[in-house]
Amino acid sequence: MNFLIVILPLIFFIAFKIYHTIKVPEGLKNVPTLSFFKFLYAFLVQDGPDKRWERLREILDKEGIVKVWFNGKWTLIVSDFGFVKDIIMKTDVYPKASLEEIFPGSLLAQYYGTNMVFSNGDVWKRHRRIANPSFRNLPAHVFVESAMKLLNIMEKVDNEPIEVNDFMHRLTLDVLGKVSFGFDFNNLEEPKNIYVNAYNEVIEELSKPLYFIFTFLEYLFPRPEAFKKVAKLNSLYDELVEKKSKLMKTGEIEKKINDNTADLLERMIYACNDPENQTLTSEELRYDMAIFMLAGHDTTANSLSTILYLLAIHKDVQKKVRDEIFRVLGDDLTPNMEQQKELKYMNMVINENLRLYPPIASLPRRINSQDIKFRNHVIPARTPILAFIYGVHHSSKNWEDPEKFIPERFQNEKHDNHAWLSFGGGSRLCIGINFSLMEQRITLCALLRKYEVSLPADSIHKDNLQIASDTSGTMGPLPVHLIFKRRTD
């Protein structure tokens, strides 16, 4: 904290200087502005996307866009549904900014390198082509085993409020490690083990908000310790890639693929063995492992936490979901794909949860390759653009009573104005969508069979779910304590 007291005035001074020397590009002059100081304040008090939306709703509903000076650039925040759709679908006009472009020399750029999420064009195609087949064979039994382990551990705290966000993060980390590269972080049973610590420390370093707003801090106050931690975790991934590449040569991977026990990395290494096609290097495979861990961990954990909260406060919905589980699955613990589709009401609840609390509240930024006309503005080429998904999901222009929890909205799956973008869309649709949905369904099946979930009367969330800051890139709740009462019937 001392560090902050010394450095904050300096930062404010520098920021003030920069603010005054930065000229607004011609095309953005008439775009409403979110003042830098308000923005900085929001960052420092750790506001979440919900507060951001509250502050901007009126102006965004009217204008569709605002600009904010962020990270040395005038950046556009977009909530207009049509514009956001364009941003997602027209990948040539709105290519993604690379991490090196956004945060040059940063820890983030070093750790995640060129990966599937932050690349474009042919490089992205190569990553996606190699990874696509592996995501078509998801091991439902791993999801079930992990859910069972979760229940066993929860058993020990039965009848006391349980902080679900922590449990869900431990669950999803274990699942990702196992499904992605056959590694058991064992975060559920042993939350303080060295691999979990290494992982958590890296994520913590990567999420420091000040380093996000002011990338030059990386040069002013370098973090050699943090870089060392990153190197350590990278070497774990490298070892796994190397080990599995050897298994490729002995034919063991092919065997695992044939009996359907291969993990994502093994399937990707297998796909790389096509002499006709370009492949991924070991380094690129490692970057993809790191990005899977990032993209699939907090996102799924947060959506499980928020859905459990919603079920806790909507007991009628909880009962309906549970009845459906028993009706569709009976005693079957491992629902096949067909049965998962049959869980129609649960799927509606999952969609509505992701609408209200989209874990990726703002898409990673794009930088437009050409001038863009939007209403009476001409957005100049090379403007950083953030598609504000939370705003699309919470605007009354797109949804009736947007703040209300109404799963039945999704009864009619194909209404025209389907402003639901939790997983993005188009060719860049989340590759982990089925992974995450399967994990959510299986975890809910396990929990709801056994427990009745409710919110303690003195919960900080009793009026509204309290949302944490999304500086790490994902949106989620503050700790949520819920009561899990063993069902008797």
Q: Interface with ligand HEM by CB under 6 A: which residues?
A: 88, 116-117, 128, 291-292, 295-296, 299-300, 303, 359-360, 363-364, 422-424, 428, 430-432, 435-436
All residues at 6 or more sequence positions from 396 whose CB lies less than 8 Å from its CB, including other chains: 61, 402
User: With binding defined as CB under 6 A, does residue 431 bind ligand NAG?
Assistant: yes
430 carries a ligand binding annotation: yes
Q: Which does 277 bind (CB under 5 to 8 A by kind): ligand NAG, ligand HEM, none?
A: ligand NAG
What residue is closest to ligand NAG based on CB?
276
Per the structure block, which two tokens stand in for 185? 């972080």
Task: Compute the distance between CA of residue 234 and CA of residue 408 in angstroms, rounded to an integer.
Answer: 45
Minimum distance from CB of 336 to ligand NAG (Å)? 11
Q: Which does 398 bind (CB under 5 to 8 A by kind): ligand HEM, ligand NAG, none?
A: none
Q: Which does 363 bind (CB under 5 to 8 A by kind): ligand NAG, ligand HEM, none?
A: ligand HEM
Task: Compute the distance between CA of residue 141 and CA of residue 332 in angstroms, rounded to an integer.
Answer: 12
User: With binding defined as CB under 6 A, does residue 277 bind ligand NAG?
Assistant: yes
Minimum distance from CB of 138 to ligand NAG (Å)? 9
For 248, other C-beta atoms within 10 Å of its C-beta total 15
Q: Which of the 8 DSSP states describes residue 403? A: T
The helix (H) or strand (E) run that includes residue 17 is helix 2-21
Q: Which does 272 bind (CB under 5 to 8 A by kind): ligand HEM, ligand NAG, none?
A: none
Nearer to ligand NAG, 134 or 215 (CB): 134
Task: Compute the distance between CA of residue 17 and CA of residue 365 in angstroms, rounded to an integer.
Answer: 25
Alpha helices by DSSP H, 35-93: 36-44, 49-63, 81-89
Using CB under 6 A as the binding criterion, the count of chain residues that bind ligand NAG stands at 9
Nearer to ligand HEM, 199 or 423 (CB): 423
- φ/ψ of 34, rounded to 5, equals -95, 120
Chain mean position to CA 219: 28
User: With binding defined as CB under 6 A, does residue 434 bind ligand NAG?
Assistant: yes
User: With binding defined as CB under 6 A, does residue 429 bind ligand NAG?
Assistant: yes
- Calculate helix-pair angle for 140-155, 433-450, nearest 10 degrees: 40
Stretch that binds ligand NAG, among 196-204, 247-255, 361-369, 426-434 (CB under 6 A): 426-434
Q: Which does 128 bind (CB under 5 to 8 A by kind): ligand NAG, ligand HEM, none?
A: ligand HEM
Minimum distance from CB of 429 to ligand NAG (Å)? 6
Task: Compute the distance between CA of residue 444 and CA of residue 448 in angstroms, rounded to an integer.
Answer: 6
User: With binding defined as CB under 6 A, does residue 214 bind ligand NAG?
Assistant: no
For 259, other C-beta atoms within 10 Å of its C-beta total 7
Task: Compute the distance between CA of residue 387 and CA of residue 367 in angstroms, rounded to an integer.
Answer: 11
Minimum distance from CB of 296 to ligand NAG (Å)? 13
51, 129, 149, 449: residue in contact with ligand NAG (rule CB under 6 A): 129
**Going along 99-229, which residue ranges are E strands?**
161-163
| C-alpha dist (Å) from residue 386 to 21, 237, 263 | 23, 31, 33
Minimum distance from CB of 434 to ligand NAG (Å)? 4
The helix/strand/coil state of 384 is strand
- List binding-site positions: 430
- List binding-site positions for heme: 430
Q: Which residues bind ligand NAG (CB under 6 A)?
A: 129, 135, 276-277, 337, 429, 431, 433-434
